[in-house]
A = this chain, B = another copy of it.
Amino acid sequence: MKARIPEATVARLPGYLRCLTDMHLSQGPCSSEDLAQAAGVNAAQVRKDLSYLGAQGTRGVGYDHEMLGQKIREVLGLTTTHPVVVIGAGNMGSALTNYKGFDTWGFDIVAVLDVDEDRIGTRVDGLIVEPLQHLERIVTDKGVEIGILATPPSAAQSVADRLVAAGVKSILNLAPAIIQTADEVSVRRVDLSTELGILAFHLQS
Q: Which residues of A contact B (CB under 8 A)?
A: 2-3, 10-11, 13-15, 17-19, 22-23, 37-40, 75-78, 82, 91-92, 94-96, 98-102, 105-107, 145-146, 152-154, 169-172, 176-178, 180, 186, 188, 190-205
Cα A154 to Cα B19 in complex, Å, equals 8
A–B pairs, 28, beta carbons within 8 Å: A2-B201, A3-B205, A14-B191, A14-B196, A15-B177, A22-B152, A37-B178, A77-B201, A78-B200, A82-B200, A91-B100, A95-B96, A95-B98, A102-B196, A105-B193, A105-B200, A107-B200, A146-B203, A170-B199, A170-B200, A170-B203, A171-B199, A172-B195, A186-B199, A186-B202, A186-B203, A188-B195, A188-B198
Distance in Å: Cβ of A102 to nearest Cβ of chain B: 7
Cβ-neighbour of A177 out of B38, B152, B177 (below 8 A): B38
Choice from B14, B91, B107 contacting A98 with Cβ under 8 Å: B91
The residue that A194 contacts in the complex, of B14, B22, B106, B201, with Cβ under 8 A, is B14
Minimum CB–CB distance for A187 against chain B, Å? 9
Q: Given A95-B95, A194-B11, does the pair A18, B176 have CB atoms closer than 8 Å?
A: yes
Cβ-defined partner of A145 (8 Å) among B94, B186, B203: B203
**How long is the Cα–Cα vector from A198 to B77 in the complex, in angstroms?**
9
Q: A75-B201, A91-B101 are in contact. List 4 more A-B contacts (CB 8 A).
A: A2-B201, A91-B98, A102-B192, A172-B199
Given contacts A107-B196, A177-B38, A195-B190, contact A201 B10 (CB under 8 A): yes
Known: A102-B196, A105-B196, A169-B203. A14 touches B186 (CB 8 A): no
Q: Report B-chain residues with C-beta under 8 Å of the C-beta of A23.
A: 154
Task: Known contacts A98-B95, A101-B91; decide if A17 and B197 are in contact (CB<8 Å).
Answer: yes
Which 9 A-B residue pairs are closest in the complex by CB-CB distance? A40-B178, A14-B197, A95-B95, A18-B176, A186-B202, A14-B194, A188-B195, A170-B199, A91-B100
